[in-house]
A and B are shown apart, each in its own frame.
Chain A
């Protein structure tokens, strides 16, 4: 009786999960490497999958180094490290072991059916002699090889099973298709001749005319940001896309999130307010710009006079702020931004942004300066002075509500100062 017969109700044994003998522990460096890669993936849903897949690759490398150091593994050229491709395809294609091409895929920990991107089987440039299915237990920092399948075997199975390509561009492949014996994989990698498994020929796709696809992608540009690409294109279009590195790059650039930048809201200034972000950036609100009150502001009189000479008049209701910029060891700048409203009472009021560069009290300005103002798409103003003692540098633009302007200053032709965008909200 001292030996219990069954206490399964006691232990909930079912909660426990197991890894096989290929279990390999990952190091913090592996995690950092995978996490760094994931930061360059712009599709947010895909980011985690790429992170997990990168962990699988690093774990496989660790395992192979330990178990079969006689085999030469090359992972550097794999598609997973190329963000443009990983962004669309969370699988590590084009890894080499000796003369074999292998592809490392990550399966589901949830079920014994694994969603594998169809492209790794159906697009010749991504196919591999062997597909290695890795299990990644991120929380426990463990990976294990849960099976492998050769290209030839996949084709055999697929001929009968006719698995469909699902709406998310994957095949759902059952675990049973994969050979779980790690030693059987080593047998193949060590002994099999490289020509034993015939891979489809990689065609030169440069001749193919992708005009139509290109057009379609352009019309979808805004949706690509938020929607999964597999919901926007057909499978055939997906194949054409993945075969065309230019389009793959274009997508990657298109969905690149514009870095979140603090906005300098000049609208507040007109109400004599300055928000926290703006003052944190070093902006100081100027007193009223009425002539009588301007005495208190050193140096600005000179700026104003310079502007008047150029025919630029600051109206009495204008409001401004300035920010001091250090250019290099000896020189510095004071950047003025002044705003006022146009057609205040019309249906479409507009706002003026006047940017002026002046000197800080008792300080020297750089010798040459270039000032650029851009909106979202175009360069609007480009002004340059070669000798700042002889002229004033300014730019004036007019915008609608919600429109943003970016200001760049180039000092002595080599130092670029980027100012967070101005807006009126």
Chain B
């Protein structure tokens, strides 16, 4: 059981809100605090669980009045909302480039200090109105609401993160896959597997077809729970194909039974999807042990060739061609990129070149750059500049240019592994500080102590290019 210390109990009187600067604040609600202490004074601090507290508060709530019990619940809800967003950001944010503060404004919209009642319903009010302690904890309730919040959905989907419905999972799964999962992960009985497969086939026959028909008409809808009509068709299809009258009697297929059965199949498949993702991408299915050594051998091979790279040797050899080709590649890639981006309304060329400059020539971070080019968030800068793609494009353009000048380099183009190694060598050269090898006058340029220009070669040449363009 989860115990509450005094410190933890403060979530019932500290209201979480976003201030005008977009930061999270914890505001103590005195009325809530004194009410809470009075209500739960007789209870040992360490012995009462959240569920019991919530239940007691909830029983005393009168939604029409802004009274202390309601205030306590709203404080707690604001905390739960904060935690859900915090967890999302902790798990996906660094990878996908967003923070907890980016999510909170969508859902942390309760405003306790408002005296007048307007028609606007905050998420918190909606949660309290629908909450029923018999059906689940307030945590579950909040979690469900936040996860299903349309703005959160849209935001996360834009960042490549999404939840998938049971019905989409069933669409995604072929009978053979179902068979494999049910056999290997659940060791289900053969009869159950066979029945599930037959039901899935009937589901596909009805639901997938209807989905395609909707798409034909240009509709864009999430996969909704099958309608009673669809369920009836699924049952008909199932019974037509499994026409053993004895079995038919035993099954007693009603819409409700079929719906439950489909949901339970989807739940099992979902669990399996999660279990699979639990491993890293490179894990090989345990069912094919013979594959692992193959992959390992291949990986070792790659590492070996990597350590053997002699980038210094390489650059000495091709020094003359290298820098001029690099400069040419940089100018071509950036110009092409600007040209094609200009077709898009959202693209701001000035912000783009300025962002490139701030990053490469002044060494500023993405979050420092954002306000300077009129953007709000660090991830917006990341998306505008797309630096890793830019570097890859420059390297690849450089290779093409070099190959026309240096036969030795061109030789590598006829072998995927050699080409990849060459690309890696060049990447290393570009990413490292090799000013001792390539003498360049502009390296003497004086700069502010804090934000120094980046020392690596590619940054310096990009910077050099931007300087020239400016003139």
Query: What 8 A-B pairs are tightest by C-beta distance, nearest first?
Result: A139-B168, A183-B392, A19-B160, A35-B215, A31-B215, A35-B216, A11-B87, A196-B414
Residues of B78-112 whose CB lies within 8 A of A: 80, 82-84, 86-88, 91-92, 95-96
Which of B243-251, B269-277, B450-458 participates in binding chain A? Answer: B269-277
Which A residues touch B219, using CB under 8 A? 28
In the complex, the answer to whether B400 meets A48 with C-beta atoms within 8 Å is no
Bits for B380-423, please: 1 = Cβ < 8 Å to A, else 0. 00000000110011011001100100000000011110011001
Bits for B136-157, please: 1 = Cβ < 8 Å to A, else 0. 0001000100010000000011
In the assembled complex, B176 has its CB within 8 A of some CB on chain A: yes
In the assembled complex, A184 has its CB within 8 A of some CB on chain B: yes
Which applies to chain B's interface (DSSP): helix, strand, loop or mixed? helix
In the assembled complex, A293 has its CB within 8 A of some CB on chain B: no
Partner of A35, one of B212, B223, B413: B212
In the assembled complex, A160 has its CB within 8 A of some CB on chain B: yes
Which of A111-119, A233-241, A257-265 participates in binding chain B? Answer: A111-119
A2, A20, A163, A190: which has the most chain B beta carbons within 10 Å? A2
In the complex, the answer to whether A176 meets B282 with C-beta atoms within 8 Å is yes
4 further A-B pairs in the complex, CB-CB below 8 A; given A17-B164, A45-B204, A140-B162: A111-B272, A160-B297, A174-B285, A192-B416
In the assembled complex, B440 has its CB within 8 A of some CB on chain A: no
Which A residues touch B297, using CB under 8 A? 160
Partner of A161, one of B161, B281, B288, B413: B288
In the assembled complex, A367 has its CB within 8 A of some CB on chain B: no
CB of A183 to closest CB in B, whole Å: 4
In the complex, the answer to whether B392 meets A109 with C-beta atoms within 8 Å is no
In the complex, the answer to whether A187 meets B396 with C-beta atoms within 8 Å is yes
Which A residues touch B283, using CB under 8 A? 112, 176
Which B residues touch A183, using CB under 8 A? 388-389, 392, 396
In the complex, the answer to whether B294 meets A161 with C-beta atoms within 8 Å is yes
Number of interface residues of A (CB under 8 A): 79
CB of A257 to closest CB in B, whole Å: 13
Partner of A168, one of B92, B176, B218, B279: B176
In the assembled complex, A137 has its CB within 8 A of some CB on chain B: yes
In the assembled complex, A331 has its CB within 8 A of some CB on chain B: no
Which B residues touch A48, using CB under 8 A? 171, 204, 208, 212
B294, B298, B414, B423: which has the most chain A beta carbons within 10 Å? B294
Q: Which residue of A lies closest to B82 (CB)?
A: A4
In the assembled complex, A13 has its CB within 8 A of some CB on chain B: yes
In the assembled complex, B134 has its CB within 8 A of some CB on chain A: no
CB of A109 to closest CB in B, whole Å: 5
B173, B215, B396: which has the most chain A beta carbons within 10 Å? B215
Contacts A10-B84, A38-B212, A192-B416 given; indicate if A23 touches B291 (C-beta within 8 A).
no
Partner of A138, one of B163, B171, B173: B171
Partner of B295, one of A31, A39, A49, A176: A176
In the complex, the answer to whether A51 meets B212 with C-beta atoms within 8 Å is yes
Docked pose: A425 CA to B161 CA in angstroms? 57
- 20 sampled A-B residue pairs with Cβ under 8 A: A10-B84, A14-B274, A14-B278, A17-B161, A18-B160, A35-B213, A48-B204, A49-B174, A69-B340, A110-B169, A111-B181, A139-B167, A142-B162, A174-B291, A174-B295, A176-B281, A180-B281, A184-B420, A188-B416, A196-B413
Q: Which residue of B lies closest to A175 (CB)?
A: B281
Docked pose: A194 CA to B248 CA in angstroms? 60
In the assembled complex, A53 has its CB within 8 A of some CB on chain B: no
In the complex, the answer to whether B294 meets A190 with C-beta atoms within 8 Å is no
Which B residues touch A152, using CB under 8 A? 416
In the assembled complex, B172 has its CB within 8 A of some CB on chain A: yes
Contacts A23-B160, A187-B396, A190-B396 given; indicate if A7 touches B83 (C-beta within 8 A).
yes
In the assembled complex, A362 has its CB within 8 A of some CB on chain B: no
Which A residues touch B10, using CB under 8 A? 1
CB of A194 to closest CB in B, whole Å: 9
Which A residues touch B161, using CB under 8 A? 16-19
Bits for A168-184, please: 1 = Cβ < 8 Å to B, else 0. 10001011110010011
Partner of A10, one of B143, B295, B399: B143
Which A residues touch B399, using CB under 8 A? 187, 190-191
In the complex, the answer to whether B290 meets A36 with C-beta atoms within 8 Å is no
CB of A134 to closest CB in B, whole Å: 14
Which A residues touch B160, using CB under 8 A? 18-21, 23, 142, 144
Which A residues touch B278, using CB under 8 A? 14
Contacts A10-B139, A32-B215 given; indicate if A150 touches B164 (C-beta within 8 A).
no
Bits for B290-319, please: 1 = Cβ < 8 Å to A, else 0. 110111011000000000000000000000
In the assembled complex, A82 has its CB within 8 A of some CB on chain B: no
Contacts A32-B218, A168-B176 given; indicate if A176 touches B291 (C-beta within 8 A).
yes
Number of interface residues of B (CB under 8 A): 93
CB of A63 to closest CB in B, whole Å: 12
Which B residues touch A338, using CB under 8 A? none
Residues of A125-176 whose CB lies within 8 A of B: 137-142, 144, 150, 152-153, 156-157, 160-163, 168, 172, 174-176
Docked pose: A51 CA to B214 CA in angstroms? 13
In the assembled complex, B284 has its CB within 8 A of some CB on chain A: yes
Q: Which residue of B lies closest to A157 (CB)?
A: B294
Which B residues touch A2, using CB under 8 A? 26
Which B residues touch A196, using CB under 8 A? 413-416, 419
In the assembled complex, A348 has its CB within 8 A of some CB on chain B: no
Docked pose: A28 CA to B403 CA in angstroms? 43
Docked pose: A108 CA to B176 CA in angstroms? 12
Docked pose: A229 CA to B86 CA in angstroms? 51
Bits for A341-361, please: 1 = Cβ < 8 Å to B, else 0. 000000000000000000000
In the complex, the answer to whether B396 meets A191 with C-beta atoms within 8 Å is yes
Docked pose: A17 CA to B176 CA in angstroms? 23
Contacts A18-B92, A31-B215 given; indicate if A1 touches B7 (C-beta within 8 A).
yes
Which A residues touch B213, using CB under 8 A? 35
B287, B291, B298, B395: which has the most chain A beta carbons within 10 Å? B291
CB of A62 to closest CB in B, whole Å: 14
In the complex, the answer to whether B88 meets A11 with C-beta atoms within 8 Å is yes
CB of B46 to closest CB in A, whole Å: 15
Docked pose: A70 CA to B396 CA in angstroms? 12
CB of B397 to closest CB in A, whole Å: 8
Which A residues touch B420, using CB under 8 A? 184, 187
In the assembled complex, B335 has its CB within 8 A of some CB on chain A: no
In the assembled complex, A186 has its CB within 8 A of some CB on chain B: yes
Which B residues touch A45, using CB under 8 A? 174, 201, 204
In the assembled complex, A42 has its CB within 8 A of some CB on chain B: no
In the assembled complex, A34 has its CB within 8 A of some CB on chain B: yes
Partner of A109, one of B92, B273, B284, B415: B273
Docked pose: A359 CA to B181 CA in angstroms? 67
Docked pose: A162 CA to B294 CA in angstroms? 11
In the assembled complex, B62 has its CB within 8 A of some CB on chain A: no
Docked pose: A4 CA to B222 CA in angstroms? 33
In the assembled complex, A364 has its CB within 8 A of some CB on chain B: no
Contacts A11-B88, A183-B392, A184-B420 given; indicate if A195 touches B414 (C-beta within 8 A).
yes
CB of B314 to closest CB in A, whole Å: 16
In the complex, the answer to whether A8 meets B290 with C-beta atoms within 8 Å is no
Docked pose: A18 CA to B164 CA in angstroms? 11
Q: Which residue of B lies closest to A68 (CB)?
A: B393
In the assembled complex, A67 has its CB within 8 A of some CB on chain B: yes
In the assembled complex, A376 has its CB within 8 A of some CB on chain B: no
Q: Which residue of B lies closest to A136 (CB)?
A: B172
In the assembled complex, B375 has its CB within 8 A of some CB on chain A: no
